[in-house]
C-alpha cells in the first residue's frame, strides 16, 4: 500500500511540474489496470471526470497534452475548439443556412474559429464558400477548370502529332485522339501526357516493318557485294575442273553391260549432283534395287537352313509353312485361336496374327527343323515363346 501511495504522489508531482493544473486536476490512479496506467482526471471547465491513459503517454514522451472530450479543453490549448463536440454542433448549425457571424454568436466563440473549421471541413451553407457562390459556384468552377484543361490538351496534342476529337472531362476519364500520320483513333485517359503515353501503335508497327525491310535489303546488298568480290578476285575454281573431269569418266553397266559416262547417267536420272553408281540409267538402277530386294527376301525365307547349320541340328528342306498349314490347319497350337493369312498390319509380308512355323523344341536347344518338331503358331505367340521349351 505504501508503494502505491508513493507512486500516486510521484505522478501528482509530475502532473504539477508539467503545468496541467490550469485546466485539470488529478484525482488518482486506477491500480486495477496495467501498472496503474489508468488515471482519473477532472476537468475544471465542465467538471467532468474521465479516465485516460494520456498522462502515462505524456510521461513517456509519446504525447503532449490531455483532452476533455466533453468540452474540448486541452492542456496545451492547441485546436481546442476543433476537437470539442460543440464544434460539430456549430458546423451542423452553419450548414443549415446560417452565416458565420450568426453561428459565432450562437455558440459564443470568435468568428475565426468558425471560419477555420469551415475551411478544414470544406463545408458550405448554400450562400457563400471560399469565394464561390453556393453549390452552383462549385459546379461552374469545376466546369471552368475542366474547359481550361481541355483547351491546354487540344493545344498541346498537335505538337505531338495528334488531333483532339473530344470527350475530355477529367484526368481519369477517357478522351478520343487521332494520329495525324496514319489516321488511327485511340481512347486515352486525360493524364496520358503526364505518363508519357503519346505514341501511335500503328505508326510504331509500320516503322518496325520498315526497319526490318531496310536491314534485310542491306544484308542482301552486302551478300551480293561479297559474291561479286569473290568472283572477280578469286581464280577459277579447282573443284569445277575436277567436277568436269568426273562427268567425262566412263564405265560399264553392271546390269546390261553397256558402256556409259557419268554425264549420261546424271541426265537420265535427273540428278542435281554428279555421282557414279555403276549403272548407265535409271532403269538399270531400279532393276539392281529389285534384285537386291529379292535376294534379301530369299535369305529371310530360308533362314531355318542357316539356323540348323548354326546349331548343328537336323534340317528337312521339305518342311514349309504352306505344307504345315495343309497338314495341321490354321489353329495356333500355343493360344488355340485361328491364324489369318491376310494379316499384313506389321509389314508387307506379315502381321501379329499371320501363321508361322513354331519348333516345339527350339533349334537352339537341339530340336531339328523336321516334321515331328514343328507346329502352326501366330507370329506374336511364337515371338513371345522365344527359345523356351
Q: In whole angstroms, give the CA distance from residue 130 to residue 67.
A: 31
**Which pLDDT score is estimated for 64?**
58
The arithmetic mean of pLDDT across residues 165-179, rounded, is 83
Domain ranges (residues) in the chain? 2-78, 85-131, 136-202, 259-301, 311-385
3-state secondary structure of 142: helix
- Whether 310 shows a pLDDT value over 80: the answer reads yes
Burial of 268 (0-12, 13-18, 19+ CB in 10 A): middle
pLDDT, averaged across the chain = 79
Q: Nearest-CA neighbor of 4 among 26, 27, 31, 40?
A: 31
Largest interatomic CA distance in the chain: 136
Tens-place pLDDT, residues 362-380? 998 888 999 999 999 999 9
d(CA 246, CA 103): 118
The predicted pLDDT at position 214 comes to 92
Is pLDDT at 106 greater than 50 in this prediction? yes
The mean pLDDT of 23-45, rounded to a whole number, is: 75
Q: What are phi and psi of 205, to 5 degrees?
A: -65, -45
Q: How confident is the model at residue 135 (pLDDT cuts 50, 70, 90)?
A: very low
Is 0.85 topped by the overall pTM? no
All residues at 6 or more sequence positions from 235 whose CB lies less than 8 Å from its CB, including other chains? none
Helices (H) and strands (E) in the chain, counts: 15, 10
pLDDT tens, position by position, 320-330: 999 999 999 99
For the stretch 98-135, what's the b/e string if a residue is b when 16 or more beta carbons lie within 10 angstroms of its beta carbon? bebeebbeebebeeebbeebbeeeeebbeeebeeeeee
Mean pLDDT for 203-229 is 89
Contact 336, 303 (CB under 8 A): no
d(CA 20, CA 258): 131
Give the CA-trace dihedral at 59, 61, 66, 72, to 10 degrees: 180
* Long-range contacts, stretch 108-115, CB < 8 angstroms, 24+ apart: 109/81, 113/81, 113/87, 114/90
| Domain range 311-385, CATH architecture | Orthogonal Bundle (1.10)
Average of per-residue pLDDT across 187-212: 82
- Whether 345 has a pLDDT exceeding 60, the answer reads yes
CA atoms within 13 A on the CB side of 191: 5
Amino acid at each position: 500500500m505504501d508503494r502505491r501511495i508513493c507512486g500516486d504522489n510521484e505522478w501528482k508531482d509530475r502532473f504539477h511540474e508539467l503545468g496541467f493544473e490550469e485546466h485539470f486536476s488529478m484525482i488518482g490512479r486506477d491500480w486495477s489496470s496495467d501498472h496503474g496506467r489508468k488515471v482519473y482526471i477532472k476537468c475544471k471547465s465542465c467538471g467532468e471526470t474521465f479516465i485516460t491513459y494520456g498522462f502515462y503517454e505524456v510521461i513517456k514522451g509519446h504525447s503532449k497534452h490531455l483532452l476533455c472530450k466533453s468540452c474540448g479543453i486541452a492542456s496545451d490549448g492547441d485546436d481546442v475548439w476543433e476537437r470539442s463536440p460543440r464544434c460539430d454542433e456549430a458546423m451542423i448549425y452553419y450548414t443549415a443556412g446560417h452565416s458565420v457571424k450568426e453561428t459565432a454568436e450562437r455558440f459564443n466563440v470568435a468568428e475565426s474559429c468558425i471560419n477555420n473549421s469551415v475551411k478544414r471541413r470544406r463545408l458550405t451553407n448554400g450562400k457563400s464558400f471560399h469565394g464561390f457562390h453556393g453549390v452552383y459556384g462549385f459546379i461552374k468552377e469545376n466546369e471552368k477548370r475542366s474547359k481550361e484543361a481541355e483547351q491546354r490538351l487540344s493545344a498541346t496534342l498537335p505538337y505531338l502529332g495528334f488531333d483532339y476529337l473530344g470527350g475530355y472531362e477529367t484526368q481519369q476519364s477517357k478522351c478520343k485522339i487521332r494520329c495525324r500520320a496514319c489516321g488511327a483513333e485511340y481512347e486515352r485517359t486525360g493524364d496520358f501526357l503526364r505518363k508519357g503515353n503519346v505514341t501511335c501503335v500503328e505508326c510504331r508497327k509500320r516503322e518496325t516493318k520498315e526497319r526490318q525491310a531496310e536491314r534485310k535489303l542491306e544484308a542482301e546488298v552486302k551478300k551480293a557485294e561479297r559474291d561479286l568480290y569473290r568472283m572477280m578476285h578469286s581464280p577459277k575454281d579447282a573443284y569445277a575442273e575436277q567436277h568436269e573431269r568426273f562427268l567425262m569418266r566412263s564405265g560399264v553397266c553392271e546390269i546390261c553391260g553397256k558402256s556409259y559416262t557419268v554425264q549420261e547417267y546424271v541426265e537420265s536420272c535427273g540428278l542435281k549432283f554428279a555421282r557414279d553408281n555403276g549403272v548407265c540409267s535409271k532403269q538399270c538402277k531400279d532393276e539392281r534395287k529389285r534384285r537386291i530386294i529379292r535376294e534379301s527376301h530369299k535369305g529371310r525365307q530360308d533362314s531355318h537352313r542357316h539356323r540348323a547349320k548354326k546349331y548343328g541340328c537336323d534340317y528337312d528342306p521339305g518342311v514349309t509353312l504352306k505344307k504345315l498349314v495343309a497338314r495341321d490347319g490354321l489353329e495356333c497350337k500355343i493360344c488355340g485361336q485361328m491364324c489369318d493369312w491376310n494379316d499384313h498390319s506389321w509389314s508387307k509380308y506379315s502381321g501379329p496374327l499371320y501363321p508361322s512355323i513354331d519348333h516345339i523344341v527350339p533349334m537352339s536347344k537341339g530340336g531339328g527343323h523336321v516334321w515331328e518338331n514343328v507346329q502352326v503358331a501366330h507370329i506374336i505367340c511364337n515371338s513371345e515363346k522365344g527359345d523356351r521349351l
